[in-house]
Chains A and B, each alone.
Chain A
């Protein structure tokens, strides 16, 4: 911190040091005390003030901090004699940044740089400010000034990166690249280049302009020696040659790479690309492509003649054979997979070489079949085969299975591979129930037989054969889907819980379980499993899709709130600190990372999940406070009455959305957040190959955000609208505002209707039709909650509109009745059709929760608003004449609505209480007895029985100490109890919400009775 002369910001360093020490040890009070003493001596020192501001900010006093900072800034500007050192400025900068006033920090530095134009340190500070603001043009200008001042390579590169950022992330035209190139060229001519990273940036500037030849010249020249690692250099050379269209030379380069690193798969693909003169492996990925969708190697072969193709294949095969012969390492998969890739291309080119692919696949199995990665290795190759051919391959593979390795772990690996390959091919959908049962039993037996292999492993290591339990679970869930026999479902849970009892770290089991528990209505247990995955930081972006959608439709508000808060905090923290890290990359001269960091931040900013959470977080708050209109209003106020969200809804159509979720770990029955096969009947679909569903997801997310982000504003306007009827009509300003409210709410209703696919009038007809029983709820499709919302807001609008709801000159409660009957019929019919949770998983509970916590809750808010304005507060006179009449009409309607909501909620409470109160032991009996085999061959329970037998008398010498201990502790009844507790917790939370609503409604009833 100290400057050269022992002064810090003009104050002796020894006087400042204790302040920093106190800040570092978080003793802010003490720090403030020392600073105050310091300020009494140096009362005009901007540095001392900056320190004070820093401390105040840390103490959580942002307003005071800002005012002290502004004071310091003023002094800096005013006093000509004061010194403008970077220490003062950077301290101020820290505070301004933390107070979200980057622009103030920038203006301080701008002022300082204007005053001392040749001070490099200040200019670097200013550059840093522009980095924080993502002002690429100003970054460029500042960097150029620094470069002109001292001629250092790094400042030139800062300017070049800033130019590149304008082109890649800003709105700079590609012409700017020419400028960057010119700058570099000139510098290289006079000074050369000294950093490998500078050279990389130089190449990328040339590549972006398709000047591959120029780049190759530079690589071949003196500068090329900056790249020390030979392979790195060759990779660049190969790519440049290929992009320049010199495929023959490029192929030679890739051969060299493969001779140096025989296992480099990417190099091999590039090599093939060069032979076949096909540039698809270099084509750039589009940024909004889902990052985790399986990427299969694309290739273009149509332009080749038979002759050329054949000779290419010959060359490639010869080369691969040579590689294979030269490598002493038998475990290198590359040369073998290379054969497969060649066969795959033959298959694609001739369209009839399936047998070749199958042959090489079988060979690959005989060599690498024991590896856990076998199936993921071959996934892309299987894709070229027709379903029949895949089955043929599988049949041949199964025949091979008689000759398993003599090494037990290898033999186990091979057996697992066979099962995984069946799964991959979608065989599960083809087999009969009996065959599926048989295969699940086999898996369990195989698992039990091989447990002793893991006896000497550390409990933290993955166990041999633990995947078998996941595969068995997949089969059991398939059986449940086919037969709807709950026993299979419980069995699937037990199998995984058994696996976790032995090895509690298996995250694959936990993910499957959390989906099973979600489906079983034991969401709190699912959430516990999710938490045990320790999902944090960037994993929240890629993994939370497993739990988030279920939580959004659940009554577990506290957990949901944490989930949303943690996620938003992570994202927002990153957006806040990302620029500082970018500057770090500048400082350490890792220029390629500069570009990468900025692009990555943009990627996260466009995350679809981020958008959804930003909308859902305030909606959760609105749900949580819906029983108290004052609190609801203060939430709305903090949301600027929902205006920003309406804007978001308007803009969403033109925003690009990015999907960062990793769906590969999702179970087969719910491959995306939108799909759950178990909710529908078995259709024998083959889920392989997993379709790329990004397009559909994009449409669905857009629709969701578009609709949901209208809610806060519509709630706000509904409150206004419902209170308007009772205002004094002599207040012209007021009535003008009311008119505006009505118009705006109408236009939002029109939008909402349009998003549901209807015009406003048609949508009104639809809800009317359903409420009168002329149409069924099926017309709402899966958007039932949105339709109910629509009805609620429509009613609110009708209260303040002349267009609708008038009958014989009086306002009639048509729209009230509409909402009452829509909600009542919906909820009551759901309750009637739902069996006890323990016997019928999932069902309509989430929809029921949504109906209560959304449309019903918003309706409650409208009622509160009506009651508030109906009930005369002390000073108000009693309304007379027509106003009095409409009040009386309305108060009747409100009373009826309250009554209706209460009875709905009471029904739900009764239903939930019945389930919560039913004896736990009975429920456990239901679960456990579903697993009894009753001596029959078929049906659920056989897999469970095998595991139970193992657990009942573990052989310690065979299984080792820790496994036997774990087996002894295994208790299926405990698992059953946990499920029941989990279900009860969800129901209790739901009850709590309903009861609180009932209480609020009852108090409204008393108030309205006074009218």
Chain B
């Protein structure tokens, strides 16, 4: 019931019901188009019957050496398609691309420290809170950097939690 395919520009005109959700950010055009231009395989959309957009995931792959990793920038599901494990499916897909195609060491993501439902979901998907990033969101709310090791990181070194929180300027990547 779900076709998962690459996200394309026209989907920007069709994701309204997903993006009106207050927790889903609508970025500026250059943000979306930069992701599409650079990491088209990391921007996937799930489509239901009648070509309705059910949800999507956007991400990228970046880093050097052992911090070469996949990153989930956003994952979101329309209200009427929630509680059907769609986010899990999309996350698994991104993990697989990071793992199999790009041979990354881990996948990471940032989440608002207050967003308990999302944190719980990521934990269920095998993500570990790697570190806290102080005032990551608009200089106000803390963010949690969560990680999941991929097959290339045999010893799971990438997910050993840091003991102290970091500040946004200490982050290696944006």
Residues of A within 8 A of B (CB): 228-229, 261, 263-267, 291-292, 294-296, 331-334, 337, 371-373, 376-377, 379-380, 457-458, 460-462, 505, 507, 533-534, 536-539, 541-543, 570, 573-574, 577-578, 581-582, 584-585, 588, 590, 592-593, 596-597, 599-600, 603, 660, 662, 664-665
Q: Which residues of B contact A581 (CB under 8 A)?
A: 29-30, 33-34, 37
Please tell me if the beta carbons of B19 and A539 are within 8 angstroms of each other in the complex: yes
Please tell me if the beta carbons of B26 and A539 are within 8 angstroms of each other in the complex: yes
Q: Which residues of A contact B33 (CB under 8 A)?
A: 578, 581, 584, 597
CA A292 to CA B10, docked complex, whole Å: 10
Please tell me if the beta carbons of A539 and B10 are within 8 angstroms of each other in the complex: no
Q: Which residues of B contact A331 (CB under 8 A)?
A: 84-85
Q: Which residues of chain B in 1-18 are interfacial with respect to chain A, using CB atoms and an 8 Å cutoff?
A: 1-5, 8-10, 12-14, 16-17
Chain A CB within 10 Å — which of B10, B22, B33, B81 has the most?
Answer: B33
CA A665 to CA B36, docked complex, whole Å: 27
CA A334 to CA B4, docked complex, whole Å: 13
Please tell me if the beta carbons of B14 and A596 are within 8 angstroms of each other in the complex: no
Please tell me if the beta carbons of B38 and A590 are within 8 angstroms of each other in the complex: yes
Please tell me if the beta carbons of A660 and B49 are within 8 angstroms of each other in the complex: no
- Beyond the given pairs A337-B49, A371-B84, 11 more chain A to chain B contacts, judged by CB atoms under 8 angstroms and listed by A's residue number, are A263-B2, A292-B14, A333-B1, A334-B1, A373-B81, A462-B79, A537-B28, A537-B29, A581-B30, A581-B37, A588-B37
Please tell me if the beta carbons of A588 and B38 are within 8 angstroms of each other in the complex: yes
* Smallest beta-carbon distance A223→chain B, Å: 17
Q: Which residues of B contact A379 (CB under 8 A)?
A: 50
Q: Which residues of B contact A263 (CB under 8 A)?
A: 1-2
Q: A458-B117, A603-B10 are in contact. Are A537 and B26 (CB under 8 A)?
A: yes
B47 within 8 A of A: yes
CA A578 to CA B1, docked complex, whole Å: 34
In the complex, what residue of chain A is closest to B9 when comparing beta carbons? A600
Partner of A662 from the list B3, B14, B23 (CB cut-off 8 Å) is: B14
Please tell me if the beta carbons of B48 and A265 are within 8 angstroms of each other in the complex: yes
B165 within 8 A of A: no
In the complex, what residue of chain B is closest to A368 when comparing beta carbons? B1
CA A536 to CA B20, docked complex, whole Å: 10
Please tell me if the beta carbons of B116 and A539 are within 8 angstroms of each other in the complex: no
Please tell me if the beta carbons of A266 and B47 are within 8 angstroms of each other in the complex: yes
Q: Which residues of A contact B30 (CB under 8 A)?
A: 577, 581
* Smallest beta-carbon distance A570→chain B, Å: 8
Residues of B within 8 A of A (CB): 1-5, 8-10, 12-14, 16-17, 19-23, 26-30, 32-34, 36-38, 40, 47-52, 54, 79-85, 100-101, 115-117
CA A229 to CA B54, docked complex, whole Å: 23
Q: A291-B13, A373-B81 are in contact. Are A264 and B50 (CB under 8 A)?
A: no
9 closest A-B pairs by CB: A333-B1, A600-B9, A585-B37, A266-B3, A372-B80, A581-B33, A507-B20, A584-B37, A662-B16
Please tell me if the beta carbons of B21 and A337 are within 8 angstroms of each other in the complex: no
Chain B CB within 10 Å — which of A507, A603, A660 has the most?
Answer: A507
Please tell me if the beta carbons of B9 and A597 are within 8 angstroms of each other in the complex: yes
In the complex, what residue of chain A is closest to B101 when comparing beta carbons? A228
Q: A373-B81, A376-B80 are in contact. Are A538 and B17 (CB under 8 A)?
A: no
CA A897 to CA B108, docked complex, whole Å: 72
* Smallest beta-carbon distance B88→chain A, Å: 12
CA A337 to CA B49, docked complex, whole Å: 9
* Smallest beta-carbon distance A332→chain B, Å: 7
Please tell me if the beta carbons of A543 and B16 are within 8 angstroms of each other in the complex: yes
Please tell me if the beta carbons of A507 and B21 are within 8 angstroms of each other in the complex: yes
Q: Which residues of A contact B115 (CB under 8 A)?
A: 460
* Smallest beta-carbon distance A346→chain B, Å: 18
Please tell me if the beta carbons of B82 and A533 are within 8 angstroms of each other in the complex: no
Please tell me if the beta carbons of B29 and A574 are within 8 angstroms of each other in the complex: yes
CA A507 to CA B21, docked complex, whole Å: 7
Q: A371-B84, A372-B82, A505-B22 are in contact. Are A584 and B48 (CB under 8 A)?
A: no
Please tell me if the beta carbons of B14 and A380 are within 8 angstroms of each other in the complex: no
Partner of B80 from the list A337, A373, A582, A593 (CB cut-off 8 Å) is: A373
Q: Which residues of A contact B51 (CB under 8 A)?
A: 295
CA A597 to CA B10, docked complex, whole Å: 10
A-B pairs with beta carbons under 8 Å apart, 7 shown: A264-B3, A291-B13, A507-B20, A539-B26, A590-B37, A596-B8, A603-B13
Q: Which residues of A contact B1 (CB under 8 A)?
A: 263, 265, 332-334, 337, 377
* Smallest beta-carbon distance A541→chain B, Å: 7
Q: A228-B101, A265-B3, A291-B13 are in contact. Are A376 and B49 (CB under 8 A)?
A: yes
CA A596 to CA B19, docked complex, whole Å: 22
In the complex, what residue of chain A is closest to B33 when comparing beta carbons? A581
* Smallest beta-carbon distance A886→chain B, Å: 58
Please tell me if the beta carbons of A264 and B2 are within 8 angstroms of each other in the complex: yes
Please tell me if the beta carbons of B10 and A600 are within 8 angstroms of each other in the complex: yes
Q: Which residues of B contact A295 (CB under 8 A)?
A: 50-51
Please tell me if the beta carbons of B85 and A573 are within 8 angstroms of each other in the complex: no
Q: A371-B84, A460-B115, A581-B33 are in contact. Are A593 and B40 (CB under 8 A)?
A: yes
In the complex, what residue of chain A is closest to B12 when comparing beta carbons? A538
CA A462 to CA B117, docked complex, whole Å: 11
Q: Which residues of A contact B9 (CB under 8 A)?
A: 596-597, 599-600, 603
In the complex, what residue of chain B is closest to A660 when comparing beta carbons? B13
* Smallest beta-carbon distance B25→chain A, Å: 9
Please tell me if the beta carbons of B81 and A597 are within 8 angstroms of each other in the complex: no
CA A665 to CA B17, docked complex, whole Å: 8
Chain B CB within 10 Å — which of A292, A460, A534 has the most?
Answer: A460
Partner of A507 from the list B2, B10, B22, B26 (CB cut-off 8 Å) is: B22
Q: Which residues of A contact B38 (CB under 8 A)?
A: 584, 588, 590
Q: A228-B101, A373-B80, A373-B81 are in contact. Are A534 and B22 (CB under 8 A)?
A: yes
Q: Which residues of A contact B82 (CB under 8 A)?
A: 372, 462
In the complex, what residue of chain B is closest to A370 when comparing beta carbons? B83
Q: Which residues of A contact B14 (CB under 8 A)?
A: 291-292, 662
Q: A460-B22, A574-B29, A593-B40 are in contact. Are A662 and B116 (CB under 8 A)?
A: no
Q: Which residues of A contact B116 (CB under 8 A)?
A: 458
Q: Which residues of B contact A662 (CB under 8 A)?
A: 13-14, 16-17
Please tell me if the beta carbons of A597 and B37 are within 8 angstroms of each other in the complex: yes
Q: Which residues of A contact B36 (CB under 8 A)?
A: 585, 590, 593, 596-597
In the complex, what residue of chain A is closest to B116 when comparing beta carbons? A458
CA A334 to CA B89, docked complex, whole Å: 15
* Smallest beta-carbon distance B49→chain A, Å: 6
Q: A292-B14, A373-B80 are in contact. Are A533 and B20 (CB under 8 A)?
A: yes
Q: Which residues of B contact A538 (CB under 8 A)?
A: 12-13, 26, 29, 32
Q: Which residues of B contact A264 (CB under 8 A)?
A: 2-4
In the complex, what residue of chain B is closest to A458 when comparing beta carbons? B117
Q: A460-B117, A537-B28, A577-B30 are in contact. Are A292 and B13 (CB under 8 A)?
A: yes
Q: Which residues of A contact B22 (CB under 8 A)?
A: 460, 505, 507, 534
In the complex, what residue of chain A is closest to B47 when comparing beta carbons? A266
Please tell me if the beta carbons of A542 and B37 are within 8 angstroms of each other in the complex: no
CA A868 to CA B83, docked complex, whole Å: 70
Q: Which residues of B contact A577 (CB under 8 A)?
A: 29-30
CA A542 to CA B10, docked complex, whole Å: 11
Q: Which residues of B contact A665 (CB under 8 A)?
A: 16-17, 20
Partner of B48 from the list A376, A462, A582, A588 (CB cut-off 8 Å) is: A376
Q: A539-B16, A542-B16, A664-B17 are in contact. Are A267 and B29 (CB under 8 A)?
A: no
Please tell me if the beta carbons of B2 and A542 are within 8 angstroms of each other in the complex: no
Please tell me if the beta carbons of A541 and B29 are within 8 angstroms of each other in the complex: no
Q: Which residues of A contact B26 (CB under 8 A)?
A: 534, 536-539
CA A543 to CA B22, docked complex, whole Å: 15
In the complex, what residue of chain A is closest to B30 when comparing beta carbons? A577
In the complex, what residue of chain B is closest to A372 when comparing beta carbons? B80
Please tell me if the beta carbons of B10 and A265 are within 8 angstroms of each other in the complex: no
Q: Which residues of B contact A573 (CB under 8 A)?
A: 28-29
Q: Which residues of A contact B84 (CB under 8 A)?
A: 331, 371, 373
* Smallest beta-carbon distance B79→chain A, Å: 5
Q: Which residues of B contact A574 (CB under 8 A)?
A: 29
Please tell me if the beta carbons of B34 and A543 are within 8 angstroms of each other in the complex: no
